Amino acid sequence: MGPREVGRLWDRHLLNCAVIGELLERGDRVVDIGSGAGLPGVPLAIARPDLQVVLLEPLLRRTEFLREMVTDLGVAVEIVRGRAEESWVQDQLGGSDAAVSRAVAALDKLTKWSMPLIRPNGRMLAIKGERAHDEVREHRRVMIASGAVDVRVVTCGANYLRPPATVVFARRGKQIARGSARMASGGTA
């Protein structure tokens, strides 16, 4: 986020993240993959305190920033330093109800990272921009091979955000390819 974004911070960044709560159920455990500055996880946790939000971030300086920020805000979230494709992260966070992300990676990689973290029938919610439909068309085959079903583009916050948040929605099918997340990062299965 650069200085030109300050005027759009509330609508384009914070509310844009918080409104995906419309797609989550009460009490869901939600993993924010590549949390960075806390988007979308922190606004989501503020808007939906009933959720169990985990901020997953690989960089030490960012996890330190996140710890300080959530302490100052009084937001109850868990912060994990790691990568979604790491087996210990999958062991610790696997079975979550949803994986959310914003500006992390292309859908093929994001799906390979998300599916091992969510339970069967759990949701992947990737906040994307105006190219969401094109990206789904481009990566649908890999998404399905990675275990995604019911892949579609939805909008959130249409009654109060202009433009509304554009989200790629997918559910995890019953079976996923073993090791698909590690292979997406160049590792071996």
Residues belonging to the binding site are 34, 39, 84-85, 102
Question: Which is nearest to 153 in space by CA: 1, 11, 23, 17?
Answer: 23
Tokens of 56: 């997953």
Q: What angle do CA 175, 180, 182 make, to 5 degrees?
A: 145
In the annotated binding site for S-adenosyl-L-methionine, the residues are: 34, 39, 84-85, 102
Which residues have a Cβ under 8 Å from the Cβ of 58 and sit 6 or more positions away? 34, 81, 82, 83
Return the residue matching tokens 């610790």.
92
